[in-house]
């Protein structure tokens, strides 16, 4: 029952956000940011269906390519949380990260459970400023590695 409510809630958020964005010029980015924050909260609360729907809303209202890719990662994280890595593996393996900021190469490694490569790249990116301590704290992408104690020396 909770899963159905979560999916309906995410769809409702999308409809209300869409109407608000249509009626109020320049509100799309606000809707996208709110959806992203709500998706993060839902992921951390274990409500993966809701998080997946909210990540789709976040993606729909993204104002730039980087925001689109961050929303895609959030969607994959939600599906992984509910269905397991096998549910996203094919899509993530096909994801061409060539030309994207290196943090998305990192995301691809993390999503595919290539933890050794991920930690090595994360050390580089934190040293260069491409990923910050607040990124590691705030983005659910890093939650699994943190809980497994694999990021103790990275930030």
Helix/strand/coil (H, E, C) string of 96-153? CCCCCCHHHHHHHHHHCCCHHHHHHHHHHHHHHCCCCHHHHHHCHHHHHHHHCCCCCC
User: pLDDT tens digits, the chain, 155 residues: what are they?
Assistant: 666 565 665 556 555 566 666 667 787 777 777 778 888 998 999 989 888 988 888 898 888 899 999 999 999 999 999 999 999 999 999 999 999 999 999 999 999 999 999 999 999 999 999 999 899 999 999 999 999 999 876 55
**pTM recorded for the entire structure:** 0.85
Q: What is the mean pLDDT of the chain?
A: 86
- Residue 63, helix vs strand vs coil: coil
DSSP run (H or E) holding 94: helix 86-94
Rounded Cα–Cα distance for residues 56 and 65 (Å): 14
Q: Tokens at residue 93, please? A: 């393996």
- Please report, rounded to a whole number, the percentage of residues in the chain having pLDDT higher than 70: 83
Taken in order 21, 26, 27, 30, the sign of the CA dihedral is positive
């Amino acid at each position: 029952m909770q899963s159905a409510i979560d999916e309906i809630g995410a769809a409702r958020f999308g409809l209300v956000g869409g109407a608000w964005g249509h009626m109020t010029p320049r509100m799309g980015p606000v809707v996208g940011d709110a959806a992203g924050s709500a998706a993060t909260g839902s992921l951390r609360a274990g409500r993966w269906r809701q998080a997946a729907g909210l990540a789709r809303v976040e993606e729909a209202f993204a104002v730039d390519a980087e925001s689109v890719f961050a929303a895609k990662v959030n969607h994959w994280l939600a599906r992984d949380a509910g269905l397991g890595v096998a549910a996203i593996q094919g899509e993530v393996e096909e994801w061409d990260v060539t030309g994207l900021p290196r943090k998305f190469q990192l995301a691809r490694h993390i999503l595919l459970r290539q933890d050794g490569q991920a930690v090595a790249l994360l050390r580089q990116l934190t040293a260069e400023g491409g990923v910050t301590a607040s990124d590691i704290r705030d983005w659910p992408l890093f939650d699994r590695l943190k809980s497994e104690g694999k990021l103790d020396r990275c930030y």
